[in-house]
Amino acid sequence: MGQLVSGCQHRPQLHPSHRNRQQGRECGGDKPAGGPRRGRADRGSEHALREKLIALIESETGVANVTESTPIEALGVDSLDYISLIQTIRSDIGTVSIDKATSAQTVGDLMAAITA
């Protein structure tokens, strides 16, 4: 029969800020060049990273009051939206482990997948 129909995701209805950023960076600022790796970061910079990530997630998804314990499902994103979010994090914050990110249950898990 060949491929009757394919696809398991609809085209994501991204938050307007995400659509905007595809034309130019709007969220989260620039990735710091040559900054310390997260494992060696002091508490202050780690806190700043968390704040930056949560601000980015809230901006990209339109969900308010995101915390580390917020379930990924509560962000209202499907898999394709989530990939877009990961790409934004890569662009604005740092490296993301796809294996860890795609098995994340909470925003805290997603944070653990990031190396700034």
Would you state the structure tokens that stand for residue 23, as one six-digit string?
């034309």
The answer to whether residue 87 forms part of the interface with other proteins (CB under 8 A) is: yes
Considering CB under 8 A, how many residues would be counted as binding other proteins?
A: 30
Per CB under 8 A, the list member of 77, 111, 113, 116 interacting with other proteins is: 77
The answer to whether residue 8 forms part of the interface with other proteins (CB under 8 A) is: yes
| Residue position matching structure tokens 């979010």 | 85
Distance CA 26, CA 66 (A): 19
| Max Cα-Cα span within the chain | 59
Task: With contacts defined by CB under 8 A, name the span among 3-11, 20-28, 34-42, 58-66 that binds other proteins.
Answer: 3-11
The answer to whether residue 5 forms part of the interface with other proteins (CB under 8 A) is: yes
The answer to whether residue 95 forms part of the interface with other proteins (CB under 8 A) is: no
Distance CA 82, CA 104 (A): 11
The answer to whether residue 82 forms part of the interface with other proteins (CB under 8 A) is: yes
Distance CA 97, CA 99 (A): 5
Torsion of CA 56, 61, 62, 65, to 10 degrees: -60
Q: Choose between 35 and 105: whose C-beta lies nearer to other proteins.
A: 105
Interaction site with other proteins (CB under 8 A): 1-11, 71-73, 75-80, 82-84, 86-87, 98, 102-105
